[in-house]
Chain A
Amino acid sequence: MWELIQSNRRKSLILFFGMGALLILIGYVFGSFYNPESGGAVGVFFAIILWMILSTISYFAGSKILLAISGAKEVTKEVHPQLYNVVEEMKIAAGVPYFPKIFIIDDPAPNAFATGVKPENSAIAVTSGLLSTLNRYELQGVVAHEMSHIVNRDILLMTFAGMMLGAITLMSEVFFRGLYYGGGSRYRSKSSSKNSGQGQIIIMILALVLAILGPILAQLFYFAISRKREYLADASAARLTRYPEGLANALEKIANSSYKLRSANKVTAPMYIVNPLKREGMKLADLTSTHPPISERIKILRALQQGVSYKDYQKVFEMIYGKKEKIIPDSALKESIPVAPVMGLANSDKSFSPVDAKREANDAVMKLNNYKFINCKCGVRIKIPPDYNQPIVVCPRCGTRHQLG
Chain B
Amino acid sequence: MIYFIIFLVLIVLIIFFFVSIYNALIRLRNQVKNAWAQIDVQLKRRHDLIPNLIETVKGYMTHERQIMENITKYRSQAMNAQTVGEKAQAESLLSGALGQLRVQVENYPDLKANQNFLALQEELTATENKISFARQNYNDQVLMYNNKIQMFPSNIVAGMFNFKEEEFFEIKDQAEKEVPKVSFN
Q: A interface vs B, CB < 8 Å?
A: 81-82, 85-86, 88-90, 92-95, 136, 140, 242, 336-337, 342, 345, 349-351, 375, 379, 381
A92–B185 touching, CB < 8 Å? no
Q: Residues 115-138 of chain B: 1 if any A CB is under 8 Å from the residue's CB, otherwise 0?
A: 110010011011001100110110
B133–A375 touching, CB < 8 Å? no
Does B114 sit at the interface, judged by CB under 8 A?
yes
Report Cα–Cα, A82/B183, bound state, in Å: 13
Whole-angstrom distance from the CB of B8 to the nearest CB of chain A?
A: 31
B42–A92 touching, CB < 8 Å? yes
User: Known: A351-B185, A379-B114. Contact between A89 and B133, CB under 8 A?
Assistant: yes
Report Cα–Cα, A337/B122, bound state, in Å: 31
A379–B113 touching, CB < 8 Å? yes
Report Cα–Cα, A375/B116, bound state, in Å: 8
User: Known: A81-B119, A81-B123, A92-B42. Contact between A337 and B35, CB under 8 A?
Assistant: no
Whole-angstrom distance from the CB of B128 to the nearest CB of chain A?
A: 10
Partner of B144, one of A85, A140, A336, A375: A336
* Residues of chain B contacted by A345 (CB below 8 angstroms): 181
Partner of A375, one of B31, B34, B115, B180: B115
Does B38 sit at the interface, judged by CB under 8 A?
yes
Does B104 sit at the interface, judged by CB under 8 A?
no
Shortest Cβ distance from A80 into B: residue: B122
Partner of A92, one of B133, B180, B184: B133
Q: B interface vs A, CB < 8 Å?
A: 31, 34-35, 38, 42, 110, 113-116, 119, 122-123, 125-126, 129-130, 133-134, 136-137, 140-141, 143-144, 147, 180-181, 183-185
Report Cα–Cα, A136/B38, bound state, in Å: 22
Partner of B126, one of A85, A95, A349, A375: A85
B136–A242 touching, CB < 8 Å? yes
Whole-angstrom distance from the CB of A180 to the nearest CB of chain B?
A: 57
Report Cα–Cα, A350/B183, bound state, in Å: 9
B116–A136 touching, CB < 8 Å? no
Report Cα–Cα, A242/B115, bound state, in Å: 31
* Residues of chain B contacted by A93 (CB below 8 angstroms): 133, 136-137
User: Known: A85-B122, A85-B126. Contact between A379 and B140, CB under 8 A?
Assistant: no
* Residues of chain A contacted by B180 (CB below 8 angstroms): 342
Report Cα–Cα, A336/B115, bound state, in Å: 45
What DSSP secondary structure best describes chain B's contact surface? helix
B141–A89 touching, CB < 8 Å? no
Report Cα–Cα, A90/B181, bound state, in Å: 15
Report Cα–Cα, A95/B142, bound state, in Å: 13
A89–B130 touching, CB < 8 Å? yes
27 A/B residue pairs, CB under 8 Å, sorted by A: A82-B122, A82-B126, A85-B122, A85-B125, A85-B129, A88-B130, A89-B126, A89-B129, A89-B130, A92-B38, A92-B42, A92-B130, A93-B133, A93-B136, A93-B137, A95-B31, A95-B34, A95-B38, A95-B137, A136-B125, A336-B144, A337-B143, A337-B144, A351-B184, A375-B116, A379-B110, A379-B113
Shortest Cβ distance from B113 into A: residue: A379
* Residues of chain A contacted by B136 (CB below 8 angstroms): 93, 242
A351–B183 touching, CB < 8 Å? yes
* Residues of chain B contacted by A242 (CB below 8 angstroms): 136
Shortest Cβ distance from B148 into A: residue: A336
Whole-angstrom distance from the CB of A379 to the nearest CB of chain B?
A: 4
Whole-angstrom distance from the CB of B41 to the nearest CB of chain A?
A: 9
Report Cα–Cα, A247/B129, bound state, in Å: 17
Shortest Cβ distance from B125 into A: residue: A136
Report Cα–Cα, A86/B130, bound state, in Å: 9
Partner of B115, one of A90, A342, A379: A379
* Residues of chain B contacted by A89 (CB below 8 angstroms): 126, 129-130, 133
Report Cα–Cα, A295/B79, bound state, in Å: 47
* Residues of chain B contacted by A88 (CB below 8 angstroms): 126, 130
Shortest Cβ distance from A349 into B: residue: B183
User: Known: A88-B130, A89-B130, A92-B42. Contact between A337 and B125, CB under 8 A?
Assistant: no
Shortest Cβ distance from B110 into A: residue: A379
Whole-angstrom distance from the CB of A341 to the nearest CB of chain B?
A: 12
User: Known: A95-B35, A95-B38, A351-B183. Contact between A381 and B115, CB under 8 A?
Assistant: yes
Report Cα–Cα, A381/B114, bound state, in Å: 10
Shortest Cβ distance from B184 into A: residue: A351
Report Cα–Cα, A147/B125, bound state, in Å: 20
The 4 closest A-B pairs by CB, nearest first: A85-B126, A93-B133, A351-B185, A375-B115
Shortest Cβ distance from B139 into A: residue: A337
Whole-angstrom distance from the CB of A376 to the nearest CB of chain B?
A: 9
Shortest Cβ distance from B35 into A: residue: A95
* Residues of chain B contacted by A336 (CB below 8 angstroms): 144, 147
Known: A337-B144, A351-B184. 8 other contacts (CB 8 A): A85-B125, A89-B129, A336-B147, A349-B183, A351-B185, A379-B110, A379-B115, A381-B115
